[in-house]
Each structure stands twice: as C-alpha cells, then as structure tokens.
C-alpha cells in the first residue's frame, strides 16, 4: 500500500517508502498531458566548474529555469523553481524552495541515507538514465542538507534502497526558504549510449511540509512520462551492471550501521536486503551427498519470445529485449524449467549459479511443508489442533488464543492483529527482533475471530516455528535438513537466525537458485522424488490448491484471479480444479512459480521487485507465459 506524505514520520524503517500523490485530479491530468506532448529538451551544458555551495550564483544558473510550474491535484504551485545542467562527467540540479516560515525548517543533521529525513521539507531530482520507464534514480536533499538516494520502481515510484551512489549537494538558507545544488557523477549511473548523444528523462519533486503538499514536474507518477532530455558529448561510463547497484558498497554501509544485539540497532541497517544473511547469525542445512541434477535443453529464444509477447512486457513500451529487462529490473536469477529440464537460465547484477540467494517470504512455503511433515510424522496430530495445545502460555495473555488452530495460522486467517504503522511496527518486531520468540509472545494480540478474514501476518509463521521446535524436539533448520532438504536432493544451505538461535520463520532460507527449483519439482511431482514420497501427496494438494472460504474472506485477491492457502499463493486455471498454478513469493521479488498443467517451473530472484507494478505482476506475467507456452 502506498504511503501518503503525512505518513512519512511514522515509517522511518519501513521496507518501502513511496512517492505518491494524494489523488490525481483533472487539472493535474491535463497538465501532465501537456507536458508530455512537448518535444525533447536539449539541456544547458557547461564547460565551467560549478561550485556546489547552494548559492546558485554560477553563470549556468542565470539561464532560464527548467521549470517553476510544479503541480499537485490542486493545480500549479509557484514556490519552487528548478534548473538542470550538465558537463561531460556530471549532472547538476539547482532548486529554489520557498516556505511560509523559515523558523519551522528542520536543522537536525542525520547520517547519510537516513530515511527519517523524509519527514522534513525536501526536494528530489529523479533521472531515468535509459529513458525506458522501467526504473529511475532519485536524489533527495532536505532543508538541513541531509541526503538520501535510491531507485524508483513503477507504478507508484516506490523508493527502494538497493541503489546508492556517490554524489554531493549543498543547501543555503535565506529569508524566503532555502536553495539547493546537486552534483551527480555520471560514472556511477547506468547510461545507454547513442552515438554522440544520450537521451534521458527527469522529474523534480518537492515535499512542502508546512503546507503538506507533494508537488512535481512533470505532473505524473509514470516514470515513462518523465520529461525527455538530451545530453551531448558526455564521457562514456562503465557501470558495474545495468541496475547501478554496487552490492559490496551496500553491504559495507549496512555493516557500518547495524547492531545485531538490539531491535533498534538491527533496524539501523535500513531496508531489508538480499545481503541480510551476511549480517544475521545462521544455522547450516547440510545438503544431500549427491544433490539432484537438473538437465539442460535450452530454448532461450523461444522462452524470451513468449515473455516478450505477454501484455506486461508490451506495456513497458520499450525497445529493449527480455533479458535486458530482467537485468534492468534488478533481477539476480531467472530460470525456466519444464519438468526437471532447464529451458532458460540466466544470472544478473553480480550474481551467478553458485551464489547464495536469500528467500524472504518464500520461506513461508517451506514452513508449510514442514508442518505437513510434522503431521505425517505424528509430532502434530492435525492442523485442526488448537495452538494453545502447544503454546499454553498464550492462554495467560488472552483466553481467545484457544480458538485459533494451526490451520488458521497456515491460512493467514488467525484473527491476530498486524499493523504496519508506527515504529517499531509489527514488521520490525517480526523481522528485526533479536529475540523473535519473546517478541512474538510479548506483542502478538487478537483483533478478530479466526477463520473469518485473510490478513497477511508474520506472527503466524513465527508461531508455527515455535510449535515445530516444541513438537519435534529439534531446531527448525535441523528438522528441515533431515525430513526435507536432503530427501529432495538439495545442496548445502542455511537458515538465518535471531540472536537466540531461533530461525527467522517468515524469511531467511539461504541457498542456491537450483535449490528453489529442486523444491518446486518436489511439489510439481506431488511430493515424490527418486521414487520416494517425501511429502504426503494429500498435503501437497491441501496446501497448494484452493479451499472453500467464507464470503468476504479475501475478495480483493479473487478479483486478481488469486487465492491463498497454506502459506502458498495460487492462480486459478479454468478446468484445472486440482491443478491450479501456485507459487511462493517473497519480498524484493523472490518467486517460485509452478504450473502443473504445463509442467513448468519459473524461478525469479532479485534485490527488488523491479519494473512491475506491485508484487502480483510477476505472477501475472508467469501465468500468461505458461498459458501460451
């Protein structure tokens, strides 16, 4: 869900921060249309050094401003003016920001990339260096001179923090407000070259805190409709990858901020990251002596062509190919299999076949499988058991916990409360806490009767993990190793832990990309591998296929042809009552997608969701691909 501007102060450590207009009115829409009908702008180029001091007195700034017509849904806003210039090696932005009362401007200095600056008055310069609408990069400065940068992803321009660059800025306070200068080196940005010129697209955004207005130019949330701008004669650059992400730099940054021993200290590492497995403790999961071999019959051109014919790819309105799109959209691994044969396989952005890929919430589907195995082994009698049978201390907290079954936890319909608001929120308690067991028992609470409504809730898998520990007498990772991992032919892996040795049940399985495929094949083959029934076939059916639900249970999922069962997502296929598509999904765009009808498996892993509008668009594209394969 996109955050509004006045929510920023409450979400300093949220996993995603959104640039969002309140509502697009007709005035804004008309202005947006007019802007985008303009021809390309050839920007002012300078051969003189620009002094980044916030004063805006260099000769280049004496030319006509790029714009002083920033808009929101109420129309034009005249308190901000912006200039743009460049030289052979840098992009420059200059801004004048007027305010009602300068005494109310923030003056507190923060560490660089501290997301709390979003609660202040700030301006942002955004640039889509490829001019393809897939991604843009945002550079923000607030009235105190604090800096923040990240990548913007369609459609709501959610600001994620895998990308971070080296750049400089300066602000100068005056009697009307403040002025800003930015210098952004091109060498740190991915750039597409076309002979002597480069075409990019830019946008200016201002958050005027005193008036609680977020205004922008051009007046659009669509990165594909940013203002087109042409640069001539810039020096060629050599970015590490098309996403502009330097993983080593980001890891070093997180390590410099994080303190794993406290909740606040763990949150100081910022946004959840695919590198978190290098920060948290972990428990090894030993693989099979001979991991399952996957076969190859590459049909790369056929696979890419089918994906390029899906409506999701066509809606990009770009001339890049599918593999370039994957790299640009911050994908790290992409594999397509039919049965156990790989048809397409590629790795991007510094990752390779033997890299470690963390799961995020894909781990929940592994947890579902472990619960099924524990029932099969007799450690748990049934998924209809009340959770207080195994966690009796919950009765002291609230007698209503006795109404909740294991099935309710698996179905995300436990009636437990879950809020994303405030800090620390339930997100922080369930992902960042150094003692997850204690955090759950302290903060879990009831808001409704179980079984009535679906609510995605990270307390559910954590409670399941505690039940698995108590019933099996083993750590969750050890039980997974013995009952699942080795038997499915997995390679060596690990599971991230809190500081007290409890697995991060909602996330944190760390393994090779082929291990996700091995897990998928086990489910595709109804729980059987190498002639052995590893998972009961009845559990595979029960966990992955839709069940009858009360009216109003999750209508908004059904509208997108989507259902949710035992920690698995699914998509309905006509005529496939017991063989609908199903998938595991994790934060940052981790997917293990299975189409039983076509015997297809698709693995997409990444460090952000990438180009697609929200998490469900990758599965929608996979569904279309499988339909036409």
Q: Does 584 score more than 70 pLDDT?
A: yes
542 pLDDT band, cuts 50/70/90, is very high
Q: What is the pLDDT of residue 132?
A: 85
Q: Which residue has the tokens 């009796």?
A: 392
Burial of 55 (0-12, 13-18, 19+ CB in 10 A): middle
The pTM (predicted TM-score) of the whole model is 0.89
Q: Does 477 score more than 50 pLDDT?
A: yes
Give the model confidence (pLDDT) of 609-620 as tens digits: 886 556 888 999
How far the first Cα of the chain sits from its last, in Å, is 33
565 pLDDT band, cuts 50/70/90, is very high
Of 570, 576, 574, the residue nearest 557 (C-alpha) = 570
Q: What is the pLDDT of residue 184?
A: 96
Provide mean pLDDT across the span 580-586: 97
Q: Does 12 score more than 50 pLDDT?
A: no
Give the model confidence (pLDDT) of 496-508 as tens digits: 999 999 999 999 9
Whether omega before 335 lies within 30 degrees of 0, making that bond cis, reads no
Sign of CA dihedral 318, 319, 323, 327: negative
Q: Domain locations in the chain? A: 5-232
Q: What is the pLDDT of residue 37?
A: 40
Q: 589-605 burial, b if ≥16 CB within 10 A, otherwise e?
A: bbbbbbbbebbbbbbbb
Give the model confidence (pLDDT) of 547-559 as tens digits: 999 999 999 899 9
Q: Does 521 score more than 50 pLDDT?
A: yes
Q: What is the pLDDT of residue 614?
A: 63
- The share of the chain scoring above pLDDT 70, in percent, equals 92
Q: Does residue 161 contact residue 150 with C-beta atoms inside 8 Å?
A: yes
Distance between CA 428 and CA 436 in Å, rounded?
10
Give the model confidence (pLDDT) of 22-36 as tens digits: 222 223 333 333 334
Distance between CA 340 and CA 353 in Å, rounded?
17
Cα within 13 Å of Cα(238), Cβ side: 0
19 pLDDT band, cuts 50/70/90, is very low
Q: What is the pLDDT of residue 194?
A: 63
Q: Does 583 score more than 70 pLDDT?
A: yes
Burial of 528 (0-12, 13-18, 19+ CB in 10 A): middle
Of 394, 273, 316, 315, the residue nearest 130 (C-alpha) = 316
Provide mean pLDDT across the span 100-118: 92
Token duo for residue 296:
């190859």
Q: Does residue 367 contact residue 411 with C-beta atoms inside 8 Å?
A: no
Secondary structure string (H, E, C) spanning 238-289:
CCCCCCCCCHHHHHHHHHHHCCCCCHHHHHCCCCCCCCHHHCCCEEEECCCC
Of 218, 226, 222, the residue nearest 200 (C-alpha) = 226
Give the model confidence (pLDDT) of 147-192 as tens digits: 999 988 876 777 888 888 899 999 999 999 999 999 999 988 887 6
CATH 2.60.40.1190 fits 5-232, yes or no: yes
Q: What is the pLDDT of residue 611?
A: 65
Q: What is the pLDDT of residue 245?
A: 82
Of 17, 254, 259, the residue nearest 117 (C-alpha) = 17
**Taking the CB of residue 291, how many other CB atoms lie within 10 A of it?**
18
What are 262-268's contacts with CB under 8 Å, separation 24+? 262/434, 263/424, 263/428, 263/429, 263/432, 263/433, 263/434, 263/439, 264/424, 266/432, 266/433, 266/434, 267/13, 267/423, 267/424, 267/428, 267/432
Q: Does residue 564 contact residue 612 with C-beta atoms inside 8 Å?
A: no
Lowest mean pLDDT among 143-157, 324-338, 399-413, 531-545: 143-157
Q: What is the pLDDT of residue 75?
A: 86
Provide mean pLDDT across the span 444-471: 97
> Counting runs of H as helices and runs of E as strands, what totals does the chain give?
17, 30
Provide mean pLDDT across the span 376-389: 98
């Amino acid at each position: 869900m996109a955050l509004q501007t006045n929510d920023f102060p409450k979400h300093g450590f949220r996993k995603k921060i959104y640039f969002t207009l309140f509502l697009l009115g007709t005035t804004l829409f008309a202005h947006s249309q007019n802007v985008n009908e303009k021809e390309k702008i050839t920007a002012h180029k300078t051969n003189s050094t620009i002094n980044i001091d916030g004063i805006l007195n260099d000769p280049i700034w004496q030319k006509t401003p790029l714009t002083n017509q920033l808009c929101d849904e109420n129309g034009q806003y005249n308190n901000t003016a912006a200039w743009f210039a460049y030289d052979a090696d840098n992009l420059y932005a200059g801004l004048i920001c007027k305010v009602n009362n300068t005494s109310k401007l923030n003056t507190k200095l923060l560490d660089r990339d501290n997301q709390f600056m979003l609660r202040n008055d700030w301006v942002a310069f955004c640039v889509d260096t490829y001019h393809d609408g897939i991604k843009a990069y945002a550079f923000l400065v607030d009235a105190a001179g604090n800096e923040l940068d990240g990548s913007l992803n369609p459609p709501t321009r959610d600001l994620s923090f895998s990308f971070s660059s080296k750049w400089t800025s300066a602000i100068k306070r005056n009697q009307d407000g403040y002025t800003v200068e930015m210098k952004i080196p091109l060498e740190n940005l991915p750039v597409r070259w076309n002979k002597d010129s480069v075409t990019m697209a830019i946008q200016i955004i201002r958050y005027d805190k005193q008036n609680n207005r977020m205004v922008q130019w051009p007046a659009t949330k669509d990165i594909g409709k940013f203002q087109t701008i042409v640069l001539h004669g810039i020096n060629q650059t050599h970015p590490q990858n098309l996403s502009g992400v330097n993983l080593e730099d980001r890891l070093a940054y997180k390590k410099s901020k994080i303190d794993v021993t406290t909740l606040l200290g763990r949150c100081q590492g910022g946004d959840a990251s695919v590198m978190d497995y290098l920060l948290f403790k972990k428990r090894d999961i030993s693989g099979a002596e001979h991991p399952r071999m996957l076969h190859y019959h590459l049909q790369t051109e056929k696979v890419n062509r089918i994906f390029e014919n899906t409506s999701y790819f066509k809606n990009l309105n770009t001339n890049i190919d599918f593999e370039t799109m994957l790299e640009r959209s911050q994908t790290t691994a992409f594999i397509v299999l039919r049965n156990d044969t790989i048809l397409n396989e590629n790795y991007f952005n510094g990752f390779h076949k033997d890299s470690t890929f963390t799961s995020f919430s894909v781990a929940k589907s592994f947890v579902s499988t472990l619960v099924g195995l524990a029932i099969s082994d007799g450690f748990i009698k049934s998924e209809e058991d009340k959770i207080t049978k195994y966690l009796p201390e919950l009765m002291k907290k609230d007698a209503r916990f006795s109404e909740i079954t294991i099935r309710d936890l698996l179905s995300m319909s436990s009636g437990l409360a879950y809020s994303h608001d405030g800090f620390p929120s339930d997100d922080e308690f369930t992902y960042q806490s150094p003692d997850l067991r204690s955090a759950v028992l302290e903060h879990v609470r009831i808001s409704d009767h179980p079984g009535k409504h679906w609510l995605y809730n990270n307390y559910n898998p954590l409670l399941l993990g505690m039940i698995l520990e108590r019933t099996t007498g083993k750590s969750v990772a050890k039980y997974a190793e013995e009952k699942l991992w080795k038997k499915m032919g997995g390679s060596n892996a690990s599971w991230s832990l809190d500081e007290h040795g409890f697995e991060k049940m909602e996330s944190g399985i760390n393994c090779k990309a082929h291990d996700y495929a091995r897990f998928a094949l086990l489910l595709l083959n109804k729980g059987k591998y190498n002639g052995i029934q590893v998972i009961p076939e009845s559990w595979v059916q029960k966990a992955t296929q839709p069940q009858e639900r009360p009216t109003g249970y999750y209508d908004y999922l059904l509208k997108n042809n989507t259902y949710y069962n035992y920690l698995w997502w699914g998509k309905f296929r006509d005529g496939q009552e017991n063989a609908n598509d199903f998938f595991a999904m994790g934060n940052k765009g981790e997917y293990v997608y299975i189409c039983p009808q076509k015997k297809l498996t698709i693995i997409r892993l990444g460090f952000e969701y990438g180009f697609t509008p929200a998490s469900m668009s990758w599965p929608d594209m996979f569904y279309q691909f499988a339909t036409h394969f």
